[in-house]
C-alpha cells in the first residue's frame, strides 16, 4: 500500500475466529477487495491459527492475542506489509487481554481495538471504566502525532439515541450509560471523528453493527451501532463512503467498511 493509495478498511468483531471461518468469513474476505481488515474478539491462541487463518489468500495476518484461552484478542489482515506493527499500549491489563494492535503504512496508520464489554456484571463494568480511563491518554497521544490514523474496532458504546433501536430501555445498561456516552463526547470534542456518522449524519437502522442473540433482534433489526472507525481529522477528511455488510452473518456483529480517498505521504 503506497502513500497515494485509496484504501478500503473493514472492521469486524468475529466472536471467535474459528467460528467465523466456519461460516465463510475468509471466503468472503478474499473477494471483498479491502486493503486492511481489522478483527476483534479473535478468541484463540497462536497455536490455533493455522495458515488459512493466519494468511488467507491475498493477505498477511498480524495478531495480538489474550493470554487467557478463548478470550478477547485482536488482529489485522493487510494486503501490503506494514512498515511497522505495534502490539499493545504498555498497560498490563489491556495488553494481557490483547486489545490493541497498530500498523503503520506510508503516511498513515490503522489500529484494531477491542474495548471491553461491561454487560456481564458490575465488576466487568468497573473494569470497562478503568479501561476507558487508561485509553483516553493513549488516544490523546495518537492525536498529537499529527498523522492520519484510524482506530477501528468494537468500542462497545452506542453514542447517541440514533445509534440503537431501543435507546429508552437501555439508558441504564452497559453500552449506553451516561458515563460511557460522555467519554465519547469528550473524545470527539478533542478532535477525533466518528467516520460513519460524519458521512451519514442522519442514518439510523442501516448503521447498526450488533444485534443480541435473544429473540428476533437480528430479524427485526433491533440493533446497536458499536463498531466504529474513529479517525483523526486528517484521516476522516479522506473518507469517501462506507457501510455495514449484512448480507451474510459471520458473528453477532456485522463488518463495517469505509473507503478513504488518496492519502498523501507525510
Could you count the other beta carbons within 10 Å of the beta carbon of residue 19?
A: 15
Our measurement of the distance from residue 30's CA atom to the centroid of its chain's CA atoms, rounded to an integer in Å, reads: 19
Q: According to the model, what pLDDT value does residue 210 have? A: 97
Mean of pLDDT values over 153-172: 96
Domain that holds residue 228: 8-260
Burial code (b: 16+ CB inside 10 Å, e: under 16) for 137-151 equals ebbeebbeeeebbbb
Query: From the annotation, which residues make up the binding site?
Result: 13, 41, 154, 156, 252-253
User: In which band, very low, low, confident or very high, does the pLDDT at 117 lie, cut at 50, 70 and 90?
Assistant: very high
Contact criterion met (CB below 8 Å) for 165 and 210: no
For residue 83, the Cα-to-chain-centroid distance in whole angstroms is 21
| 199-229 confidence digits (pLDDT tens) | 999 998 899 999 999 889 999 999 999 999 9
In a domain, residue 2? The reply is no
Q: What is the per-residue pLDDT across 143-162, written as a single tens digit (0 to 9) for each?
A: 999 999 999 999 999 999 99
Mean pLDDT value of segment 134-149: 98
Strand partners, 239: 260
Tell me if residue 36 falls in helix, strand or coil.
strand
Strands 239-244 vs 84-87: parallel, antiparallel or unpaired: unpaired
Domain presence at residue 265 = no
Number of domains within the chain: 1
Question: Does the residue 266 lie in any domain?
Answer: no
Confidence of residue 2 (pLDDT cuts 50, 70, 90): very low
Question: What's the CA gap between 81 and 99, in Å, rounded?
Answer: 21
The answer to whether residue 201 is domain-embedded is yes
CA-wise closest residue to 125 among 62, 176, 200: 176
Residue 200 lies in a domain: yes
C-alpha cell at 261: 480517498
Tell me what pLDDT residue 5 has.
62
Quick check: helix, strand or coil at residue 120?
coil
Q: How many CB atoms lie within 10 A of CB 216?
A: 10
Q: Which of 148, 170, 144 is nearest to 157 (CA)?
A: 170
Whether 111 maps to a domain, the answer reads yes
DSSP reduced 3-state for 101: strand
- Give catalytic residues, as residue numbers: 114, 154, 253
C-alpha grid cell, residue 50:
493455522
The CATH number of residue 45's host domain is: 3.60.10.10
What gap in Å lies between CA 52 and CA 62, rounded to an integer? Answer: 13
Q: Tens digits of per-residue pLDDT, 12-48?
A: 999 999 999 999 999 999 999 999 999 999 999 998 8
The verdict on residue 1 lying in a domain is: no
CA of residue 68 relative to chain centroid, distance: 21
Band of the pLDDT at 266, cuts 50, 70, 90?
very low
Residues 6+ apart with CB under 8 A from 90: none
d(CA 150, CA 261): 13
Contact predicate 6/260, CB 8 Å: yes
List, as residue ranges, the binding site for Mg(2+): 13, 41, 154, 156, 252-253
The pTM of the full predicted model, rounded to 2 decimals, is: 0.95
Nearby residues of 12 by Cβ (< 8 Å), 6 or more positions away: 20, 25, 37, 38, 39, 40, 227, 250, 251, 253, 254, 255, 256
51 confidence band (pLDDT: 50, 70, 90): confident
Task: Specify if 212 maps to a domain.
Answer: yes
Amino acid at each position: 500500500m503506497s502513500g497515494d493509495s485509496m484504501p478500503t478498511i473493514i472492521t469486524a468483531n468475529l466472536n471467535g475466529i474459528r467460528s467465523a471461518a466456519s461460516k465463510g468469513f475468509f471466503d468472503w474476505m478474499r473477494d471483498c477487495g479491502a486493503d486492511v481488515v481489522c478483527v476483534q474478539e479473535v478468541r484463540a491462541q497462536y497455536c490455533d491459527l493455522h495458515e488459512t487463518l493466519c494468511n488467507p489468500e491475498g493477505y498477511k495476518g498480524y495478531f495480538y492475542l489474550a493470554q487467557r484461552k478463548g478470550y478477547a484478542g485482536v488482529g489485522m489482515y493487510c494486503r501490503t506489509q506494514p512498515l511497522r506493527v505495534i502490539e499493545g499500549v504498555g498497560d498490563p491489563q489491556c495488553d494481557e487481554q490483547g486489545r490493541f494492535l497498530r500498523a503503520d503504512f506510508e503516511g498513515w496508520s490503522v489500529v484494531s481495538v477491542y474495548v471491553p464489554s461491561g454487560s456481564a456484571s458490575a465488576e466487568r463494568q468497573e473494569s470497562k471504566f478503568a479501561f476507558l480511563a487508561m485509553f483516553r491518554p493513549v488516544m490523546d497521544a495518537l492525536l498529537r502525532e499529527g498523522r492520519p490514523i484510524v482506530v477501528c474496532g468494537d468500542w462497545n458504546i452506542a453514542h447517541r439515541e440514533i445509534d440503537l433501536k431501543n435507546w429508552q430501555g437501555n439508558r441504564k445498561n452497559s453500552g449506553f450509560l451516561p458515563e460511557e456516552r460522555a467519554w465519547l463526547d469528550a473524545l470527539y470534542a478533542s478532535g477525533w471523528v466518528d467516520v460513519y456518522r460524519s458521512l451519514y449524519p442522519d442514518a439510523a437502522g442501516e448503521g447498526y453493527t450488533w444485534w443480541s442473540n435473544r429473540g428476533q433482534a437480528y430479524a427485526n433489526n433491533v440493533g446497536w451501532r458499536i463498531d466504529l472507525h474513529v479517525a483523526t481529522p486528517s484521516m476522516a477528511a479522506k473518507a469517501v463512503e462506507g457501510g455495514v455488510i449484512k448480507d451474510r452473518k459471520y458473528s453477532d456483529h456485522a463488518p463495517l467498511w469505509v473507503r478513504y480517498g488518496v492519502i498523501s505521504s507525510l
